[in-house]
Each structure stands twice: as C-alpha cells, then as structure tokens.
Amino acid sequence: MYFISTRGEERVTAAQAIVQGLAKDGGLFVPEVFPTVSREELEEMLGMSYAERAAFVLSKYLEEYDKDGLLAACEKAYAKFEGSDPAPLVKISDGVYILELFHGPTCAFKDMALTLLPYLLRTGCDLVGIKEQILILVATSGDTGKAALEGFKDADGVKIMVFYPDDGVSKMQKLQMCTQEGENVNVVAVKGNFDDCQTAVKKIFNSEECKEALLSKNTRLSSANSINFGRLAPQIAYYFSAYLDLISAGQIEMGEEVNFTVPTGNFGNILAAYYAKKMGLPVGKLVCASNKNNVLTDFIRGGEYRIVGRQFHKTMSPSMDILISSNLERFVFELSGRDAPLTAERMKSLSERGTYTISPKEKEEMQREFFAGFSSEDDTVETIYDLFTEIGYPMDTHTGVAMSVAREYFEKEKDDKRNMVIVSTASPYKFPQDVLYALTGNDVKDSFKGIKRINVLTAMKIPKSLSGLRDKPVRFKTSVPVSKAFDEILNFLGD
C-alpha cells in the first residue's frame, strides 16, 4: 500500500511515511486507498486477543511489514500494560460504556500507539535502507511526551527530544517527563503554549536548512506526534476491539452501529475512529468533545476554522488545550473529495490568515458524521462528581469533558438509541488535584497527597508508574523561548 500527502506532492510506501513523519510539502500522509475489513474478518477477530486484533488492523495498512513481526511487536508492547486487557470496556449504564485506554506505562491513551512505534520506526528504517541516527522530535500538551520518552528510551540508533509548554501541563505530567530515565532522551520547556511548541516543531521539519544541519551530524528527523501515521494507525485498532467486545458481551449484534464520544484536542484520536468507519466498522455518530478551547466545536457546527482573535485557555484538561488541531487536515482532505490543492490552499490560509472555510456541502457531510460539543470547567467538575456519586466510577478531567458532551448529545438526540462508547484517555491519578477537587470540593497543593486521598476515597488502584514518581530525581530543567528550540536540538546532539 502507498501513502500520499494531503497536499499532493508526494507518494511513498508505509515504511517511508512512518520514517519521514511529515510529507516534504508540509502535508500529512494518508493511505492512497482505505483497506476494508469484511464481516467475515470481524467474526474471525472475535476470538483474538487485543494484540492479535491490533496486528491484524495494522497489517491492512503496513503491507511490507512482516505479519509475524507485527504480531510479536504488538504482544511485546501490550504486555507492558497493567491487567490482562490493554483496552477494557466498562459498562456505566444501559447502552453506555467507557473504553479505558490508560492502563499502559504512562497512564494515558498515547501508550496504545507509542509502545509500538519504536518497532514500526526501526523496521521502517531497515525497509527503507536508512543508516543514519533517527531523532524523534515531539511537541506535547502533556501525555504524548511522556509516552514517547518511555517508548523510545535507550532504543538503538534513536534519540528523542520533547518540547512542552512551560505552564501548559499538569504538575504530574511535568514530573513524569522531567524525571525520565534513558541515555538518549532530552526534555525542554518552551515559554509559550502547545500551539507554539507544535508550530516550532513543524517549522523544523519543513526547514531544509535544519535538515542539512542535522544530516551533518548523521541524523534524520522523525516524529512521534499523531502527524506520523505510525502513531495514528495503532489507535484505529481499539475502536475495532471495543466493538468486538460489545458483541462478545452480548450487548449488540454484528453489523449494529455504535456511537463513540472522544475527548479531542489534536483530532488524532477521533480521526482514528473515522478511519475505522472508513474501513467498514459499523460506526454511527462520532461525538467530538472539546473543553473551553472549543475551536473544533465551532468548526463542526459552523464550517469555519478560525484561530485568529481566539483566546487560548489553560484548563484542567491540559492535553486538550490546543487551537491548531493538526490531524484535522487529514479529515478536511477526505471531506474535500481528496482535493490536495484545495487542502494545501486551506492550510496556507490558516497559517497566514488564521482561518479557512469549507463549503456548505462539505459542512453538511461533516455534520452527518460528527456531533460537536464542549464542556466548561464547571460542567466538567459537575460531571465527574455526578458519575462518582451515582455509580462510584472516578474519571480524569479529559474523560469528564467527554462524558459531559455525551450527556448533551443524549439530551439533544433522544431518538438515537444506538449504544455509546465514551473514550477515557487518562487515569484520574494523572490529574489528582483537579480530580480530587471535582470529587470532594477540596484543594490540595501536593499532587501525591491528592493521589493518596483519591485512593482512600475511591479504592482505585494507584498505577505503579505514578506511585514511585515522588522519589525520582528531576533530570531536565531547561526552559527556552520558542526561537531557541533548534539550538537546543543541536546542543543535545553534540559534536
């Protein structure tokens, strides 16, 4: 299978797409044709383990990768997760379920892909014949950074560097990153927000001058952000797995449509659900849940993507504090009928004028696929409190946003009787102060005291990776202006 750029100037193999991360024209790689999963294949997947399901879905896209190698890599990756199931489905009420994606090494859904990406990248380099050292460059709003660091630590022939907004991640997220072990890792704070970090990283990827400077150090760039198809592809698998689990539990019949609500910042997680639908998974409505930074809600409702004049908000769900949703480009490309010049024109307009608008026909098509809503801080707190009071289930703040918007959907679309799966993207223990406040109304300054109190209140098991974090030394303390990001990369690589 080949992959093409959303901006039309490149066609590459799957291995090349994963190794490059970003197309040379600045676009994102998408499959030239979407593979399909038949009803018979879905029935075969019912008896598979999660790792087998993931390997099967990946093999549809990564045709030049060895199938046995993919399966072995998936089994190794998901063996790192706590519990017997990497992506368990929990019934909340009749017709409503939560898909828990936070049982991996860093307690966030990014682990579902980033435990696997080192294999995909290393194998991709071998397939393409690349001998240089690979530098993984990551911009993070909190979770991707730690998951990528953990996935790539001490990997042969790879270095990884993470940029995060200085005041734009939770204390626990910052501590997870800045105490990271490994001889090939580096973490740098940027004085700005996530969009500043992401823009800086994209400029480096698109700069020939930067690429030449890195090649002089025998280094090539790649990405672990969801702009890299190798990050996006493993996420498609858990939508298939959730659907199959509903069938196995006798909650739906094969072929029955299911809705998904996804807390959304960079649009990658919900795009994976859309891709699963394109492959033939019976998906109904995709509910896009935003926090106070509701640029996606406004776009899906109104048809205009506008960041100019919009205030950036720091919220209790920091992984969604994003105004420029990179993966939306992939969806807009599909929406346009795969019109690459038009997609390039729209992305240029966003870069230069801070806005672009889709056609009324495209807007109508988008609204057939998506429902959009957003949750205020107060609504998120109230939702977390309500669910715990009602059934004793604790949620993190991002899942609280999703549940709040799902409730809005239930209220507005009362005739829609399809089952709803709400995607839970992080452990409550990753955001202990905000979760404790939502559950009890009490503030606590120390994250570890917050963890202890949540544990006493909920009896939810504390993840091993967080319980030992307090005693780990802080290794990374550098903070720089956005303009100095590339200088830090060169310093990291050395002579």
pLDDT for 147: 92
Domains of the chain: total = 1
pLDDT for 225: 83
Indicate whether 454 belongs to any domain.
yes
- pLDDT class of 143 with cuts at 50, 70, 90: confident
The residues facing 73 across adjacent strands are none
pLDDT for 383: 98
Counting residues of the chain whose pLDDT is more than 70, the rounded percentage is 100
Among candidates 198, 125, 113, which has minimal Cα distance to 162?
Answer: 198
Indicate whether 46 belongs to any domain.
no
Q: What is the pLDDT of residues 69-112, one digit of tens each?
A: 999 999 999 999 999 999 999 999 999 999 999 999 999 999 99
Answering whether pTM is above 0.85, one says yes
CATH of the domain at 332: 3.40.50.1100
> 131 vs 156, 163, 448, CA distance in Å?
12, 26, 44
pLDDT for 433: 96
pLDDT for 249: 97
Among candidates 425, 428, 422, 442, which has minimal Cα distance to 392?
Answer: 428
Q: Residue 381: is its pLDDT beyond 80?
A: yes
Indicate whether 450 belongs to any domain.
yes
Distance CA 322, CA 67 (A): 36
**HEC per residue, 69-119:** HHHHHHHHHHCCCCCCCCCCEEEEECCEEEEECCCCCCCECCHHHHCCHHH
Report which secondary-structure segment, H or E, holds 395. none
Indicate whether 122 belongs to any domain.
no
DSSP for 148-164, written as a single string: HHHHHTT-TTEEEEEEE
Three-class SS of residue 263?
A: strand
Distance CA 54, CA 67 (A): 11
HSE (side-chain half, CA atoms, 13 Å) at 81: 29
Indicate whether 72 belongs to any domain.
no
When comparing pLDDT for 194 and 362, which is higher?
Answer: 362
Distance CA 431, CA 400 (A): 12
- Strand order of the β-sheet with 185-190 is 219-223, 133-139, 158-165, 185-190, 479-480
Domain, as residue range, for 271? 88-108+230-463
DSSP secondary structure letter of residue 429:
G
Indicate whether 370 belongs to any domain.
yes
Backbone torsions φ then ψ of 77, nearest 5 degrees:
-65, -50
Q: What is the pLDDT of residues 265-305, one digit of tens each?
A: 999 999 999 999 999 999 999 999 999 999 999 999 999 99
Q: What is the pLDDT of residues 14-63, one digit of tens each?
A: 999 999 999 999 999 999 999 999 999 999 999 999 999 999 999 999 99
pLDDT for 467: 84
The residues facing 298 across adjacent strands are none
Contact 194, 220 (CB under 8 A): no
Indicate whether 249 belongs to any domain.
yes
Indicate whether 340 belongs to any domain.
yes
Mean of per-residue pLDDT scores for the chain = 95
Catalytic residues: 110
